[in-house]
Structure 1
Amino acid sequence: NDDEIPTGVFATLGQCYSPRCTAKNQCYSPICSRLPGQVSLEKHPRIFLSQANKKRRREIRPIYRKERLWVVSVTKEIFDNTSTEDRKRQENIFELIYTENDFVDDLNYLQTYWITKILDIDYGTEESRKNLVNDLFSNIMEIYDINSKLAADLSKRQGESPVVNRIGDVMLKHVTNFEPFVKYGSQQMISKYKLETEKAISPIFSKFVEDTERLPESRKLELNGYLTKPTTRLGRYNLLLREILKHTPKDHPDQVDIPQAMTIIAGFLSKVNEEAGKKENEFNLEMLNEKFSLKYADDLQELELRSEERRMIMKGSLKRKGTGPESSDMQVYLLDNCLFITKQKYVQNIEQYKIYKKPIPLALLVIFLPDQAKKIPSILPYGRSSTGGSVTTNNIEVPAPTNNKSGYPIVFVHLGRQGFGQITLYANTLLARRQWVHKIEHQRLALTEKQKVFDIIPISERFFNSLNRVNCATTYGSSTLIGSDQGVYLKKEKKEDEPVRVLEMDKVSQIEILDGYNLVLVLADKILYTYSLDALLSHDTGVKRGRKISNHVSFFKFGEVIEKTLVCLVRYNAMTSTIRALEPHANPEPKKKMKPHLGIFLRGSTEGLKAYKDLYIPGEATSLQYFKNIICVGSAKGFQMVNIGSARVQSVLDPSDESHDFILQRESLRPISMFRHPDGTILLCYNEIAFYIDKKGRRVRSGWMINWEGAPTAFAFRFPYVIGFDPKFIEVRHMDTGKLVQVIPGTNIRCLNPDPIDIIHCVTEDRLLGCELVFELKFVGT
């Protein structure tokens, strides 16, 4: 017989399940059989049953504590006259009201047994006790004032009728005052930390907490459990209201009021999460700052942990494998701007951190997974679909794949001259490693987009390779002339067009088009040639012959000085460099100016170059810049200026300026480029540093200096930015602040036109594809 089958347990008939529950010390369970007033079998000899249909289903009326269910708070007549759907609604309303009363009672308990007692105990000073209460309980009594009024109005509405008709208006009246929940929720982490810290350092407070938590009024719930009740209560409101709404008739006023109240509550919940996130971030950074030992002050200043913009993205433990003391857990922190690795240590039982490696700016961070090296694409300038972010194997010696018994390896690489190289750390699980890689990549890309100054515009992606390396490039109209190991190529603007070779010759290192003279200068295998532009770019299939200008040419530079257009070619011989200045001359018959485009050229030009003057400087010249009345040359002796008229050579730097003395002490410095600032000062760019001088060669902006992250071999200028080209990355810095604003990593990066100030052509290698990518750095917004 189905009626004979047990369907539940009637707890009041048995002994309490808690081993600590006795007749004198009852437990906290609401259905404990020893609690006074508990339901007994004598008072309720049978359970109310109703056979609703022939299938002998039972509608069992649960029996718990009287105040916990609406069904036991009303008479049988009311219950029978209430529809099934409304019964569910009344139960949900009943739950909302009694849980609100419980919540207010809990807040009152905190006031009575904790806040008041802490202020009265013999512990510390009165001010310190007030501060402790404020840290632990924040504005919890503001919430008590608001919710006690809400509980009173809900109880009043419940007292008006056993069947509550409307509840949404009461909620809507009070939820607009829930702003104190936001402040309280944001302080939760601080409250928890303060409680644990105070218990650890004060035996008196620890004993007070232990004794109070054992009181019957505490219901054996720890203080932390009560401190979280306001935030959990705010989140529970919409769950309760949603159930009420589910069983509310469509034309009922609550169908309007409850959704409005839920929207307001959801807004406060969103604010709580936002403010709690901010406070948690601020708190974590503050705790981290306090745990660093003082000898790492310089690194702390670089991290800017107290900056309002600083955010902690992720933190966790990774292992460093090794022998002896080198094998240990490392605490790794990912901030919004950098990643750094620390080691934990204890000084007089106080936890401290020491920075294990120099913090890595995210722009200079590269990571790769050695056990997946073959699957990871190379790093190329972002903007290409084939790029793989910063997960790369380029420029890095990839360790042999490791077995996963020792963990899942991540190799962190700090790019640049000031970086520490690379370090391999191990995550305990594959999931942990994925989280680290994802967080680092996501934040690095977000930072890149935020700080991006230059876009990458591909010119040629897979045509050139290691057998035909690109060495130089220049612009002609909307097309590009590219010089490589096998000749000169013309690349039209259309992306689908492959470069076409227009001149076959070996080792082309420089190309320059002389506007207005119909000339192209080509330096190939240290021999300088001139070609007629129209002949070079014509569609004739015959051999295109140029005029040989000079042998043993290291490089040349085209520009204007003393109101003359000159081509200066540099030849190094023994201990001196000869700078031969040539002046382009045009056909005396004037030509009609035409917009340059392919297919329209004048034939039979007699244009060429004529000698102007020879200049001599000591040492090997490596760079040359044009100014109004002089040319400046970079050499092993530093920056030197040459007067075109008198041929006099002197140092750019004023030898009487003592602030230049440090340059003599740095033998590794190599002068490369000079750029004029709009304010008249001149930026001197060396391979390690950059600083400003005035027209007389004296140092200006004392204390201001750029220390390049890499070791640039070339520079470009696009006000207000100066761009340095290291073989492993391009760094872009602001000329006024010197701040690093963008880094573009790559492999064997080269600038293809010396000291550009307008269009910047570059090339980098893609080792996995075995080709070279020619691209243009385009200023964002142009």
Structure 2
Amino acid sequence: MLKLCAREAIVWGQLHHPNIIPFYGIYYLNSDKKRVCLVAPWQENGNIVTYLQKNPDTPRKQYCYDVANGLDYLHNLNIIHGDLKGLNVLITATGTAYITDFGLSVIRSSKTLGATATNGIALGRTERWASPELMEEESRATKASDVWAFGCVCFELGKYEPSPTSTDGVDEAMKGLISWCWSIEPKNRPTGMQILENLKQQGLATSQSISEDSTEVPNRRSFQDFMRHHSDDITDLSVVQTALMECGFLEQVGPSEAVTEQKAALLKYHSSIVFAPGKYYELDLLNDSRSLIHTGKLFFQTENEGWMELFVLLLDNYLILTEVKLRDRVYEYHATQRPLFLGLLSPITFNSPPVSRSTTINGQPDIQGFLYPFTICHAGRLAEPCVLYAESAQSRTNWQMKLEGALNLKKEAMESNRVFGIEILIQQISLIPESITSTSNLSYIEGKVTCSVPFVGKDGMTYLAVGSTEGVWVGLKHDPRSVQCVPHVWKVTQCAVLEVFGLFLVLAEGILFAYYLETLIPMQPNSPLATVDPQCLNPGDREVQFFTVGMMHNRTLIIYMTKGEGNDSEFHAIEPVAGNIGRRPTANSSISWRWHKNKISWFRQYRDFIIPSECYDLIFLEARIAILCQKGLSSVTIPVTQDSRLAQRCESCRPLGMFRINEEEFLLCYSEFGLYINRHGDPSRVNCTIEWEGAANAVALHMPYIVLFNSQFIEFRHTDDGHLAQIIIGDDIRCSWDGRCYGWPETNDAIYRQLGIQVVMNSSQLGGSPDSTVSQHVFELVPAEHH
């Protein structure tokens, strides 16, 4: 089947005519390249038989001329269509007839298109359109049999049922032509040129008629050489597509067919761009909106001061630096580094003086001359500015124009296709980007903001608690002037609210405290609960590294981690006791604040456990927990036997989170990449990894998006396929609340589901000048439809 598809691609890919449907290229349906499609533009009008049945008043003779014109073009190239019929004639939106379906087509001359006349000749046919001589055993299609079928097509246009025994319903002039085509002796049938002349005498003609000379492809001889070596042994269609591309057959298009050229080029690069082993980057090249803006040769200076020749592709979403390599007579484009997302790219300079090149390029002696440098900078993982060199000043100017144009278009596209907006909650400065709409007035919070959490008070109002190195501030979410410093604690790193229990948890200076919410926001004047002392949840002298709140087996649990012996991490799980919270002290308790022993404990021990590794976070799943530790995730093991490179990456990168994205899959998030796994912990997809644009330091989930935080930008990706949806750029970005919250009453469920992820970002009061004052603002990520 692959050979049959290859042969159809060989024939079709070399045809360029107004009455032959264009060939876009080859699309693989799966990764092993054993299921393929040959791609052509979609024709909404469908085939000519269906079209005329739906539009019976349409004039038909012009379509006869279009088909004859395309057939004459094929015969001039010594190509036999072999299955001409109404179902293989499509009607364009502008009313032009296209001949399609070259699956049974054969080439009768090896001098024409480089394939022998005896290789793979198709014996299939559609019987009712077949000429009498084709009924004989081992008969083969000829130009004359195509002409017979053309007569059947002309008859179809008038009567829809091809039959050489009657021409009723067709005018006399057309009757004569059809009868001529249906001559019993093949040698008595007209040629394609004679058919066209006959139709012209009937008053039919078209400005689309072109000759073989005008469609000659300059590199046809190169393709002939290729086919002499490959036409008998083709198992990979990318070989055919690459040869068609390199020899120019898929690029010989006029201005009206620019889209065809674009699609063909993108199909070519989709199958021929190669990344480093174990790496996969989704370039989305088959997206209908994707465009190839510019390609060309540039140079890069290596560490030993030699020169590497690059082939660079500028798309509307990525800049890709590749090195071209010929392997098994197929050109491959090996990416020299990760693709550079345009939303994070900025050209720095295009006016540096030329430099002399006098060494070697790719190991070969270099031609003396000058190269013209320009510098680009990427906010992602490209650590340093990258200097590329053009062969001439004009080439560098072209790259400057193309790059700047592409960056402007990308900026506009990102702005118009945002999936999240930002809503300022608390700010310390007046100067903010024009694109951000502030909903607050000026406010001031001391210290570096480290965390925040929203909650609903007993009065039904939504509050916001913000923790920093200097304390905790609490106030109404949309009223920054109400914010006040409440608990007198310092070096706060985490905070959380258990609303249903009326508790506020805060980790400060390595101590985990539990405050009664009434002490932070007194709802009743002179309430006795407003003076209830907080409780310390970690007895002993070991500092708490982090804590997590969640539900398991219908229990609300707080699990905190302290450092154990050596590299051990000790976990302590406790649960709140609803009847004790807020009660006055009467006796000693097993869990107590270290400075006040006579307290009623608000919590009881649930269980303790030890992980022999450095741990960073803990995630509650439905019936188990996942611990993010130095060796990955303790509850999920990536089998080393399946992919050792993947296992090594999982061990070398810091785990950040684990999220269920559907009934069957989880998404594991590491600092550099994401990984799709199934419920058994095995990779669930062929291309199972997602490469982040930058090194993430935190991750959050806001379905249907995964949100990744880098110090310089936030990236939003679709959870179902990992495609990049949006980038927000900033300075010293930190996720202050990742959206995880538990323990709220059902009455407040709707409020909590509308709360967005909260972020802290630095801002300079004087626009980044040396004397500017750096301060912060806290904002919430709001889905675009709500913003």
Structure with greater helix share of residues: 1
Q: Which has the larger radius of gyration?
A: 1
